[in-house]
Amino acid sequence: MSLLTITKSGHEPTIIATLNEDPAPAAIQVVANLLDSPGAMQRYDERPRPREIIAAAHRRGIGVMGIRAVQAGALTEAFDREVPEDHPERRDYQRSAPFRALARELGESPASLAHRYALSMTGVATVVLGVKNRTELRECIMAEARGVLAPELMARIDTTVGRA
């Protein structure tokens, strides 16, 4: 196995084909969030399928570094910046309103629950944090310490965004 790490950004079948070739990369960065959304990072027309990439990497023993666990703020309580109504992150934020309601019901912040969800996805070895300050870093550390989510809770979260 090489020491190469790749970042998934683009046509999924091409990425999966690359993962199945030798030498395989040591790791790959892949979108890992409950929406399966790359948001504004998406530069292609096809529906994103990051879970297929994660599964292909996992089958080959390639480490998966999850990225965009809170989908650029769409899976947090509120944006920390102005986001236009027609922006991909705003659409994801609106779609995830039931997820935020579930997080409140569970007594956990949406950001914390989103990070735990990403860490609980089969095949994800670690999550790359996009924190902007020490408060966010502390919240991520505490989320990781709370541990992975039970499969029943993962399924319940999936239902909030129409994944089930």
Closest residue by Cα to residue 141 from 108, 122, 115, 105: 115
State whether residue 43 is helix, strand or coil.
Answer: coil
Name every residue whose Cβ is closer than 8 Å to that of residue 137 and which is 6 or more positions away in sequence.
129, 131
At 42, which CATH number?
Answer: 3.20.20.100
Q: How far is the C-alpha of 124 from the C-alpha of 66, rounded, in Å?
A: 6
Tell me whether residue 140 is exposed, middle or buried, using C-beta atoms within 10 angstroms of its C-beta: 0 to 12, 13 to 18, 19 or more.
Answer: buried
Give the pLDDT confidence of 19-34 residue by residue, as tens digits.
999 988 899 999 999 9
Q: How far is CA 163 from CA 4, 96, 137, in A?
A: 32, 11, 28
Structural domain range at position 62: 5-160
Number of domains in the chain: 1
**Per-residue pLDDT tens digits for 108-126:** 999 999 999 999 999 999 9
